[in-house]
Chains A and B, each alone.
Chain A
Amino acid sequence: MAVIVPESLESALAALTAYPDAAVLAGGTDLMVEVNDGRRPLTRVVAVGRVPELTGIRVDGATVVIGAATTFAQLERDPVAELVPALAYAARTVGSPQIRNAATIGGNVATASPAGDALPVLVALGASVEIAGGNRRRLVPIADYFTGPKRSVLDAGELVVAVQVPVLRGAQDYLKVGVRNAMVIAVASLAIAVDLEARRVGIGLGSVGPTPLAAPEACSWVASRARWRSDGVEVADEDVVEFGERVAGAARPIDDHRGTARYRRHAVSVMARRALRRCTR
């Protein structure tokens, strides 16, 4: 069988074990670009879209578990829009409506592009990636997941099963800079999440380093400077500006055809300021 369409996670993993050269197909929006361009010869495909363990969104206590086969179109809507608004905002910026109807969050995580739109949100929220392979199941904190540009700890024969995203009380947002008002790859992007319970601020950055990045130093600094209340958080104006600089300091951008390192760092500082202002008062 050139195309294997497993009906369970177990059979999907068995197929990947049996055929280590097989390509994993979910929404196809990354894989098929390479195939069409002749960069990815296919010998065998495991199409995981119908694996029941990979579908569905369920709330498990303070965590929402989003199946890897969930599309960005689904992420734009409830329950994700209500529980994790930053993820819904990020989803809306992915490609076109047609792409959002096909592309999946699992694919975004597996491809691990520094420009993957969902990824800064997962970083800001401290999400975890559920991975299954062979006889092994593991839950990898997003901070330990990426190892380089389009590289991760995901091994051959493994599948992203779901992402576990904390449901936080507090404001969050996602900002993305591109030179077109729709359908654009991020020149720089930033996700922010305020956690009123833990009194923490989380930041995730996209397209400004070899992997999606966090800004732990800036976040702990601002958390220590903020005035926390049960229903919100206040940050002084001058601290907002300094936060922008500190977040920009966490970026490791390069010059490429989409933008310069200098602009990217600047954009990060502006986005960080605006994001923090929107999420505080």
Chain B
Amino acid sequence: MSVEVGTRTAGGIGQRAIRPDGVAKVRGEFAFAGDLWAEGMLWGQALRSPHPSARIRGIDVGPALLITGVHAVLTADDVPVNRYGLEHRDQAVLAGDVVRYAGEPVAIVAADHPDTARRACAAIVVDYEVLAPLVDPGLSQSVERPIHPDGNVFRDLVIRRGNPDSRGPVVVEGDYEIGMQDQAFMGPEAGLASPAADGGVDLVVSTQWLHNDRDQVADCLGLAPELVRLTLGGVGGAFGAREDVSLHIHACLLAVRTGRPVKIVYSRTESFLGHVHRHPARIWMRHTARPNGEIVSVESRILLDGGAYRSSSYHVTANAACFAAGPYRVPNALVHAIAVRTNNPPCGAMRGFGVVQSCFAHEAQMDLLASACGLDPVEVRLRNALAPGDELLTGQRIEGALPVAEVIRACAALPLPAPAVDDVLARPGGAGRTAGARDVRRGVGFAVGFKNLMYAEGYMDGSVARCRIDGGVVTIACAAAEVGQGFVTLVQQIARTVLDVDDVIVAPADTDMGSAGSTSASRQTMMSGGAVEKVCRAARAELERRAGGDEVDIAALTAREPVDVTEEYHHRLTHPLDADGQGDAHVSFACAAHRAVVDVDPELGLVRVVHLATSQDVGRVLNPLQVTGQIEGGIAQGVGLAVMEELIVEGGQVRNASFTDYLIPTALDAPTVDAVLIEEPEPGAPFGAKGVGEPPTISSTPAIVAAIRDATDAACTRVPVRPRDLVP
């Protein structure tokens, strides 16, 4: 069966289809997890350790239990199986004898009012023996005793390619540092757990991966998985921070203990303390090249601070290493990446997943190389650009689409923006009136990045979707978490196109059906989009079988007996990396180029990011509105990392866990974006489309920093670039 896509059906593939939840969201009627309410509901609250490292000598919950309105106070002793973790269970649901980061949950309370719960937490007496925290990742491997029985190294990965001792005559080298960025989604963690009559528990929660959460909750509560049912509550953004369990197990424990529904909503401060962050990194890199700019070798050492628990550190390390040299042909390489445990806040998934850190370093290196060879920054990148048929650092041959040179050329060809308007609001510092027109210098910078799409290293990934057509009404169910990215729109577009219908109902996502995997790694467009396409094609085949060669009248064909089919989609197999970091570990790749224009007030070190031109490899545009939204939103997060966003951790304590001091870009900080989309269909992907969420966040940051260097001559080897880094 062939389906002509993007032409026949309004709201089909390729069109500016609008979100099915759009009207509910603009009307404030869309139910976010924090909006939930149940009769007899209690409020849950966690007590968190104020110390980054301590032994717990005792906990006295007595004073909390005396407070009127308190229904339960639980500690480690009340957790049936007190271990959880996204990939490896190295974390306690409630700390028993030791705390390893400031913010680790120690006790949980259920009470009749959030203020009661808060006062009860304050009344719990924890006797800590405070220990000196291990906060320097550089010392993690050399301390006498690891701070966790599983050791202090999450992963130690070496990639050797070609002859790492080969050297070109041109050598450029640098040390780079990336600060701890936070996902800072707008809707804090929230969930409502309700005890069920069968002894199980129902949890509505904002998450990225229902089934992984379900398994962790069930294990910790000592329940069979089928007794724990999760439903996706409305998610107020995610960006990686909702891959790990947050309040899930706490809410379920309290609901089971009290026999009442328990709602937990994090405050903004608790949100900052209660989810993982982007790994801070220290990177050394040395490139050697021929005088014409052709890269001969790349060497790098990458140190990632994983914080107290593993989360996804293992795979972040792989990504940082595999893509350490960027989308360039590198015949010889030696990359050593290591992620270690410290008493700093745990780090894990965030948009760009390990590649953001590497890209900042390799793009700074490419500019040094351009300068050393007397080449234009665009030219040096074009000369080394990877293309299909080339090999990665891991020896993997690129088989799908990867139009690196095309994105570079398209981005560089975009017109530069006009000079800034003569208004103080348009200058660095804005309404602060710090800069006059003559205090400002303009700079331009260029950067390119690429990243893998989907999970890697042999992970058996899949997604399940179900299509039910009853009396002509099409309902698609898939447990993929809609976190704002617009997967629900895509479901409708695919179903409309394949089934040739106008109306498609998207069922709520829950664990009653098979897993769709995580909304991460730019994977849902391919994985769950693939599952939806596959199930719709199966339904279409069934309709055609029923029609027996006549025209397909969906309503009539499903009037008596509904079509109800379920399909699972898998991508091709990948393989683990070997001892030299070689192997076909990745499914697919996407690249993007960014050119940033900034206005800098060099004397005060203030920056305004004016304009981002970008070209992105998207495979195929499934929805131009949503692709643009991902690009603009991803760039804004790149702006944040470039010039303002950093969780400041001193002695293991987060100093700025609030929106007053963790600054994310406002509308006056966000640049204007011009984007060119490069459509080279990805073989094997549904409709040829690639995931588009991550590339905008990866190379926007180094492009902005390059532009700042251009305007100031400052070295800017660290992000975020702080005012003090630019002033004399």
Interface residues of A (CB under 8 A from B): 36-38, 89, 92-93, 173-187, 189, 256-260, 262-263, 266-267, 270-271, 274, 278
Contact = CB atoms under 8 A, between A and B. Distances in A.
Interface stretch (B59-67, B175-183, B406-414, B654-662): B654-662
Residue with the greatest number of chain A CB neighbours at <10 A, chosen from B655, B723, B724: B723
26 contacts: A37-B267, A37-B269, A93-B432, A93-B433, A176-B433, A177-B432, A177-B434, A177-B606, A178-B432, A179-B663, A180-B663, A180-B669, A181-B431, A183-B666, A184-B432, A184-B663, A185-B660, A185-B661, A257-B650, A257-B655, A263-B723, A263-B727, A267-B727, A270-B604, A271-B604, A274-B439
B575 interface: no
B434 A271 contact: yes
Given A173-B433, A177-B429, A182-B667, 19 more contacts: A38-B115, A93-B432, A175-B434, A176-B432, A176-B434, A178-B429, A178-B432, A180-B430, A180-B666, A182-B431, A182-B666, A184-B663, A187-B723, A258-B661, A263-B723, A266-B727, A274-B434, A274-B436, A278-B436
Nearest to A38: B118
Contact of A257 (B431, B605, B656): B656
Contacts of A89: 431, 433
A259 B722 CA distance: 9
A179 B644 contact: yes
B232 interface: no
Nearest to A176: B432
B329 interface: no
B648 interface: yes
Contact of B644 (A37, A180, A270, A274): A180
A43 to B, nearest CB: 13
B699 to A, nearest CB: 22
Contacts of A173: 433
A250 to B, nearest CB: 18
Interface of B is mostly: loop
A175 B723 contact: no
Nearest to B664: A180
Contacts of B458: none
Main secondary structure of the interface of A (DSSP, over half): mixed
Contacts of B267: 36-37
A32 to B, nearest CB: 13
A267 B727 CA distance: 9
Nearest to A91: B431
A181 B668 contact: yes
Contacts of A185: 660-661
Contact of B668 (A182, A257, A258, A270): A182
A181 B724 contact: no
Contact of B723 (A92, A177, A186): A177
B428 interface: yes
B333 interface: no
B501 to A, nearest CB: 44
A16 B727 CA distance: 49
B429 A181 contact: yes
B665 interface: yes
Interface in B700-728: 722-724, 727-728
A262 B648 contact: no
Which 8 A-B residue pairings sit nearest by Cβ, starting from the closest?
Answer: A181-B430, A176-B432, A263-B724, A257-B655, A181-B668, A182-B668, A182-B666, A257-B648
Contacts of B661: 185, 257-258
B643 interface: yes
Contacts of A176: 429, 431-434
Interface centre among A174, A184, A185, A256 (most CB of B within 10 A): A184
Nearest to B666: A182
A186 B429 CA distance: 11
A39 to B, nearest CB: 10
Contacts of B605: 263
A179 B606 contact: yes
B433 A267 contact: no
A208 to B, nearest CB: 14
Contacts of A262: 724
A120 to B, nearest CB: 12
A11 B456 CA distance: 71
Contacts of B666: 180-183
Contacts of A182: 430-431, 666-669
A258 B666 CA distance: 18
B578 interface: no
B434 A181 contact: no
Nearest to B601: A270
B226 interface: no
A270 B434 CA distance: 9
Contacts of A37: 267, 269
A94 to B, nearest CB: 9
Nearest to A278: B436
Contact of A179 (B439, B655, B722): B722
B586 interface: no
Contacts of A187: 723
Contacts of B727: 263, 266-267
A174 B722 CA distance: 22
Given A174-B433, A270-B604, A181 B115 contact: no
Given A184-B663, A263-B724, A179 B604 contact: no
B603 interface: yes
Contacts of A181: 425, 428-432, 608, 666, 668-669
A180 B665 contact: yes
Contacts of A179: 606, 643-644, 663, 722-723
Contacts of A278: 436
Contact of A270 (B603, B608, B660, B667): B603
Contacts of B728: 266
A267 B723 contact: yes
B182 to A, nearest CB: 14
A156 to B, nearest CB: 24
A274 B440 CA distance: 13
B369 to A, nearest CB: 30
Contacts of A174: 433
A180 B665 CA distance: 7
A182 B433 CA distance: 11
Interface in B415-432: 425, 428-432
Given A38-B118, A185-B660, A93 B434 contact: no
